[in-house]
Amino acid sequence: MTKQGVVVPVPEAAVAVPPNSAPLFQYLPPQAAPGVAVRKKYLQMGSGAGAGGRIAGGWVESMRASSPTHARAAAALAAGVDEERYAAWMVKHPSALAMFDQVVAASKGKQIVVFLDYDGTLSPHRRRPRRRLHMRRAVRSVAKHFPTAIVSGRCRDKVFELVKLAELYYAGSHGMDIKGPAKGSRHTKAAKAKGVLFQPASQFLPMIEQVHDSLVEKTKCIPGAKVENNKFCVSVHFRCVDEKSWSTLADMVKSVLKDYPKLKLRQGRMVFEVLPTIKWDKGKALEFLLQSLGFADCTDVLPVYIGDDRTDEDAFKVLRKRGQGVGILVSKHPKDTSASYSLQEPAEVMEFLLRLVEWERLSKARPKW
């Protein structure tokens, strides 16, 4: 049975393409038109023909799966894949642009609160400075109308340096380092929402520093490996590492973690992440921020969470458990998700945000009889 407050797509409308309308804001258009056109190159590949030699070990297979541009995907595409699989996935998770009217209809009488991942959601994994400028303008416009938070695996200070918008709430290190704007938000219910600071894993900082230093030393022999200190977690990026070295890199990371039973290892998109073994994630961060904003037990709030990584699934699950909210996955290929809708890339995220701002402005300008 579907909970009343969760926005669930209507299957019949999933293949509808929204009519073109001139936006009120100038921005870089998405590289692909909105809608649900099936494109073979974005299909998720199985392990059939063309998979090539398989390296033993679950970690390496998981590393392969996190690489959307892996060569075996091209091989499977050449062999031919079932387009119906992608079409069926889009029926369950239709474009948030195509279903925009349904999304905003659920916000009637409610305060929208926007939560955004950074890498892969607001910013492409391949940096584009000009597009980042346009995205910053879009996020600033959103924050003028709705409480807005960035929830990222990056260090909070690094995310702030990239976004450079003081009016936002920032949750770095997968929500383990949360800070609100000094002036707060005029859209909140809580008088003490401004200047909020929460760090549930502060006692792990010395341990994280030690692991970071050990991993830097241990992995320096692996070309392309990058170890990043995100304050409350350590990230080992293997996006630029030759696949032949993936198994060696995984073993190195696990060998360092043997001496730290209070830390855990998790894999994201082309990255290993070392985190404290506390029950805290992006879903917990979402709940904490809603509470800080004064919307903890309210029915007149509609959280909208947009993210692309498996760590964002914790937030999508929280929305479903709460029975209210909109989860939007950013992905060009089918994957298991608790999100209700999808967008293909950051350019579509920007278009969705700008349409949300435009809708809010028109709603306020519309006379109420």
Read off the CATH number of the domain in which 247 is found. Answer: 3.30.70.1020
Highest mean pLDDT among 54-63, 76-85, 333-342: 333-342
One domain for residues 180 and 239? no
Query: How confident is the model at residue 83, as a pLDDT?
Result: 79
CATH number at residue 320: 3.40.50.1000
Number of domains in the chain: 2
Asked if residue 355 and residue 285 are part of one domain, the reply reads yes
Q: Which domain covers residue 185, as residue numbers? A: 110-200+280-364
Taking residues 186-201, report their average pLDDT: 69
Among 276, 311, 328, which residue terminates a domain? 276
**Residues 6 or more apart from 114 whose CB is under 8 A from it?**
142, 143, 146, 147, 148, 149, 304, 306, 353, 356
Instruction: Give the DSSP H or E segment for 228.
Output: strand 226-229
Same-domain pairing of 355 and 314 = yes
The region of weakest confidence among 14-28, 267-281, 352-366 is 14-28
Helix ranges (H only) for the chain are 58-65, 71-79, 83-92, 100-105, 129-145, 156-163, 205-219, 246-257, 282-292, 313-322, 346-365
Contact predicate 228/213, CB 8 Å: no
Tell me the sheet residues that pair with 306: 116, 328
pLDDT digits 0-9 by tens, 5-53? 566 565 444 333 333 333 333 223 333 333 333 333 333 333 333 333 3
Instruction: Report whether pLDDT(113) > 70.
Output: yes
Asked if the structure places residue 156 within a domain, the reply is yes
- Are 216 and 195 found together in one domain? no
Instruction: Please give the pLDDT value at position 192.
Output: 53
My answer on whether 189 and 222 are in the same domain is no
User: Of the residues 259, 276, 293, which one is the last residue of a structural domain?
Assistant: 276
Instruction: Write down the mean pLDDT value for the chain.
Output: 81
Same domain, yes or no, for 194 and 302?
A: yes
Read off the pLDDT of each residue in 219-237 and give the average, rounded to a whole number. Answer: 96
**Residue 188 shares a structural domain with residue 304:** yes
Percentage of the chain modeled with pLDDT above 70 = 72
Mean pLDDT of 231-237: 95
Residues 131 and 259 in one domain: no
- Contact status, residue 305 vs residue 289, Cβ threshold 8 Å: no
147 and 183 assigned to the same domain: yes
Strand partners, 236: 227, 272
| Region class of 43: left (phi > 0), else alpha (psi between -120 and 50), else beta | beta
Query: Is there a single domain that holds both residue 170 and residue 215?
Result: no
Do both 335 and 254 map to the same domain? Answer: no
